[in-house]
C-alpha cells in the first residue's frame, strides 16, 4: 500500500480519553492517534505520562503484528508515525473483554482476594463499554439480550481472547514480564470479527518477573510514580524482541 504515509486525514470522527480517530480519503481506513494524556476512574483522575502515546502506539503495533503472524486478524494496517497508526474501519462491539491470569485489580477487590495469586485457569470477563455507567461487568446473556453481540460473536471473541492470551503470555514471559491481565476490544469489518483498539501498558497489567514491579497504568492509578520510566521499559523490551 505505497503512499499510505501521505494518505490525507480528513475529519476528526471521535475523541476518546486516550486516542483521537480521524477519517481518511479511503472510507475503509481510519487513523488512530495516541495522546499522552492519562485518565483513570472513568476520567475522574487526569494527568499526563511523558511519551505515553508513543510507547502505546509502538507496543500495540508490534504486538498486533505478532498476533497477525500467529493468525489473529486485527485492524492493523501499518504504523504511520510515532503516535499514529492506520487501521481498518470497523463497527465496534461495545464490550470490553478482560482476560486474567493472576488475581489483581477490580476482581481482587470484588472477591476479597490477595493480588498476585496465580489462578488455576485464565478468567474471562465481559464489560459493557459505557463511561457514565463505569463500564459495568456483564455476562453473555446481557450482551445477547441487549443486542450488543450475538451468541456466535461472543463465542468467536472468547476463542480469540484465549488464543491471544496463549500467544502473549509466553511472549511477555520471554522478556521477563508476567502478563497479569489485559483488556481487548473487537469490531466487525465485512462480517469478520477483528481485534481493535490497543494492547499496551494502558490496557494490561504487566509485572516484572524478578522485582514484581508494576510496569503499567497501575503506577498512575495508584500514584506509585515513575510511570514514564515503566512505560519506556516495556517499550524497550518489546522493541528489542520484536522490532527490526
What is the rounded CA–CA span in Å between residue 62 and residue 47?
26
Q: State the minimum distance, in angstroms, from the CB of residue 10 to ligand TMP.
A: 29
- Residue 135 sits in the site that holds ligand TMP (CB under 6 A): yes
Residue of minimal Cβ distance to ligand ASP: 39
Grid cell locating 67 = 498476533
DSSP characters over 181-244? EEEEEEEEETTEEEEES--STTTEEEEETTT--B-STHHHHTT-S-HHHHHHHHHHHHHHHH--
Number of residues located near ligand ASP, criterion CB under 6 A: 8
- Residue 60 sits in the site that holds ligand TMP (CB under 6 A): no
What is the rounded CA–CA span in Å between residue 168 and residue 66?
9
Site for ligand ASP in 36-95 (CB under 6 A): 39-43
- Residue 228 sits in the site that holds ligand ASP (CB under 6 A): no
Per-residue x/- mask for ligand TMP, residues 167 to 196, rule CB under 6 A?
--------------xxx-------------
- Residue 124 sits in the site that holds ligand ASP (CB under 6 A): no
What is the rounded CA–CA span in Å between residue 77 and residue 166?
23
Grid cell locating 82 = 510515532
40 or 54: whose CB is closer to ligand ASP? 40
24 or 185: whose CB is closer to ligand TMP? 185
What is the rounded CA–CA span in Å between residue 160 and residue 194?
9
Q: What are phi and psi of 222, to 5 degrees?
A: -105, 15
Per-residue x/- mask for ligand ASP, residues 8 to 27, rule CB under 6 A?
---------x----------
93 or 204: whose CB is closer to ligand ASP? 204
Contact 167, 179 (CB under 8 A): no
Grid cell locating 52 = 505515553
Q: State the minimum distance, in angstroms, from the CB of residue 54 to ligand ASP.
A: 18
Q: What residues line the site for ligand ASP (CB under 6 A)?
A: 17, 39-43, 217, 221
Amino acid at each position: 500500500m505505497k503512499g499510505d504515509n501521505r494518505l490525507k486525514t480528513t475529519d476528526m470522527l471521535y475523541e476518546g480519553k486516550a486516542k483521537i480517530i480521524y477519517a481518511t480519503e479511503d472510507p475503509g481506513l481510519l487513523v488512530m492517534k495516541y495522546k499522552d494524556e492519562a485518565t483513570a476512574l472513568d476520567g475522574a483522575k487526569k494527568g499526563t505520562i511523558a511519551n505515553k502515546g508513543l510507547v502505546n502506539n509502538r507496543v500495540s503495533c508490534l504486538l498486533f503484528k505478532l498476533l497477525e503472524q500467529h493468525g489473529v486478524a486485527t485492524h492493523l494496517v501499518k504504523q504511520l508515525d510515532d503516535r499514529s497508526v492506520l487501521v481498518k474501519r470497523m463497527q465496534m462491539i461495545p464490550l470490553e473483554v478482560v482476560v486474567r491470569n493472576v488475581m489483581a485489580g477490580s476482581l481482587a477487590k470484588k472477591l476479597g482476594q490477595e493480588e498476585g495469586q496465580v489462578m488455576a485457569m485464565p478468567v474471562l470477563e465481559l464489560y459493557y463499554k459505557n463511561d457514565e455507567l463505569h463500564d459495568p461487568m456483564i455476562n453473555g446473556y446481557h450482551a445477547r439480550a441487549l443486542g450488543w453481540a450475538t451468541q456466535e460473536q461472543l463465542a468467536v471473541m472468547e476463542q480469540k481472547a484465549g488464543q491471544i492470551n496463549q500467544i502473549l503470555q509466553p511472549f511477555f514471559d520471554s522478556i521477563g514480564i508476567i502478563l497479569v491481565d489485559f483488556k481487548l476490544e473487537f469490531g466487525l469489518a465485512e462480517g469478520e470479527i477483528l481485534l481493535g483498539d490497543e494492547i499496551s501498558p494502558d490496557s494490561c497489567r504487566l509485572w516484572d518477573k524478578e522485582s514484581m514491579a508494576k510496569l503499567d497504568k497501575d503506577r498512575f492509578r495508584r500514584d506509585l510514580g515513575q510511570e514514564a520510566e515503566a512505560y519506556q521499559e516495556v517499550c524497550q523490551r518489546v522493541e528489542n524482541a520484536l522490532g527490526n
